[in-house]
Each structure stands twice: as structure tokens, then as C-alpha cells.
Amino acid sequence: MTARRINVLEEFKKEIEEKYKGTKVYPVKSDVSKPDEVRGLVKGLPQEVQNIDILLNNAYSLVYPSLIVVDWLKEWNMLETFQRTILGL
């Protein structure tokens, strides 16, 4: 699991490992907007877990000043159209 704030990662690690016994979570402080940090991400993990099954990144961006005024249906339709026409999903 990766994010810029290690304290947030440690909280999630504890919650996940308590809920899913036997699960190992490796929190790594990293900023995915910095290519050098991304390149070194896997190399910084223990050898036995460098074959990653799931990688979580705690990243988001708030585009709108107020979430209340957003027409979410319109936004969803726009995203679906983008995915079909540009990404081919």
C-alpha cells in the first residue's frame, strides 16, 4: 500500500491485518507524482513480496470547490463516454 502520509497507511495496515487474519500489508511512503519514487517502490520491499498481487495508492484530487453543486449523473455520463470513445473500455 502506498501514499504520501505514512500515518494513514499505518492505520489502514492495522485495520486490514486485524480484519483479514494472515494478511500482510506493507505500507510504503511514496508520492506517485514523482517518477523516481515510483521506480524505487518495489525495490524497497522485502524480496519475498516483490511479486505484487495488489497495489493500493491513496490518491485523490478534488476538482470542484463544492461537492454539493455537482451534477453527478452528468459527470458519470461524461466519464462513461470518455472511456468508450477514448480508452475503448
3-state secondary structure labels for all residues of the chain: CEECCHHHHHHHHHHHHHHCCCCCCCCEECCCCCHHHHHCCHHHCCHHHCCCCCCCECCCCCCCCCHHHCCHHHHHHHHHHHHHHHHCC
Give residue 65's pLDDT. 54
Per-residue confidence band for 59, with pLDDT thresholds at 50, 70 and 90: low
Mind listing the pLDDT tens digit for each residue in 60-88? 555 555 555 556 666 677 777 767 776 66
Give residue 69's pLDDT. 57
Mind listing the pLDDT tens digit for each residue in 3-42? 888 898 899 999 999 999 998 888 888 887 787 887 787 7
CA 35, CA 43: separation in Å to the nearest integer?
Answer: 14
Per-residue confidence band for 56, with pLDDT thresholds at 50, 70 and 90: low
Give residue 21's pLDDT. 92
